[in-house]
């Protein structure tokens, strides 16, 4: 199975400041068609997961522009340009290029 | 509003069975692959199973193969997860998700399965 490794696992942030989460895969997430299936989810406390970004950099409808995804191959990043209090929660990356789909361990974002 | 709603969780003894249900609304259910994922208490997410829009393709994570069965009834806008031979380590919140661009874009609130004697 593809192992997804996130860092950091805990991220204290100051409101208004940027934040960045790294996600690395144990093998390339590019498929034979040149597509890369890397997704970012947000899970607020006590809530279901919410998809933020799909296929590396495509923001879902209703997701604030301060969230952006980038990367290629085995190295990916989720950036929050200016953190808000509402962004508290756990963020997961997930690959779906290979079966089974696998998630990173999660990064807990908290406000300082 | 596009949504999915799970039901069917509960407390069951090791070796027991449950049938989890998920009903979709607000979208053309038969157009989408559907998935089940789970989250053990205090732990991360795990993708469990997925089924193609017409039910012709089903895939499972190794840890549930032979014990869990995913199915769907497009006439009822529903997807199901039959969970048999349950183990303590299957205790989790089970989420249903609509699949779009190979990941879940609409998630339910989850249904809790507790396996304990």
Place of tokens 């089903």: B58
Which residue in chain A is spatially nearest to B35 when comparing CA positions? A101
* pLDDT tens-place string over residues A66-91: 999 999 999 999 999 999 999 999 99
User: For residue B59, which residues of chain A lie inside 8 Å, CB to CB?
Assistant: 99-100
Of B101, B105, B109, the CB nearest to A48: B109
Q: For residue B109, list chain A residues with Cβ-Cβ distance below 8 A.
A: 48
Residue of B1, B102, B23 whose CA lies nearest to A62: B1
Confidence (pLDDT) at A97: 97
At B5 the pLDDT is: 98
* Tens of pLDDT, residue by residue, chain A (112 residues): 999 999 999 999 999 999 999 999 999 999 999 999 999 999 999 999 999 999 999 999 999 999 999 999 999 999 999 999 999 999 999 999 999 999 999 999 999 9
How many percent of chain A have pLDDT more than 90?
99
- How far is CA B5 from each of CA A40, A97, A106, B24, rounded to the nearest angstrom? 22, 27, 25, 7
Helix, strand, or coil (residue B64): helix
Cα(A96)–Cα(B103) distance, rounded to whole angstroms?
A: 7
β-pair type (A58-59, A89-95):
unpaired
**Encoded tokens for B103:** 């990941």
CB A2 within 8 A of CB A25: yes
- Of A35, A34, A11, which Cα lies nearest the Cα of A23? A11
């Amino acid at each position: 199975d593809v192992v997804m490794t996130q860092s950091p696992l805990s991220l204290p942030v100051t409101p208004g400041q940027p934040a960045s989460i790294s996600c690395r895969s144990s093998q390339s997430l590019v498929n034979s068609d040149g597509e890369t299936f890397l997704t970012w989810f947000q899970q607020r406390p006590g809530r279901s997961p919410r998809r933020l970004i799909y296929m590396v950099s495509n923001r879902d409808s209703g997701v604030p522009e301060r969230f952006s995804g980038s990367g290629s191959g085995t190295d990916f990043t989720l950036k929050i340009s200016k953190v808000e209090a509402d962004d508290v929660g756990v963020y997961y990356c997930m690959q779906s290029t290979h079966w089974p789909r696998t998630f990173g361990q999660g990064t807990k974002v908290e406000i300082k | 509003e596009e949504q999915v709603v799970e039901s069917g969780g509960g407390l069951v003894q090791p070796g027991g069975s449950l049938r989890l249900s998920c009903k979709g609304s607000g979208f053309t259910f038969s157009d989408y692959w559907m998935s089940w994922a789970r989250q053990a208490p205090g732990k991360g997410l795990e993708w469990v199973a997925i089924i193609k829009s017409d039910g012709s393709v089903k895939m499972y994570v190794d840890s549930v193969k032979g014990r869990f069965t995913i199915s769907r009834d497009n006439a009822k806008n529903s997807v199901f997860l039959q969970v048999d031979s349950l183990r303590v380590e299957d205790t989790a919140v089970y989420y249903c998700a609509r699949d779009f661009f190979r990941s879940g874009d609409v998630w339910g609130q989850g249904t809790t399965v507790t396996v304990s004697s």
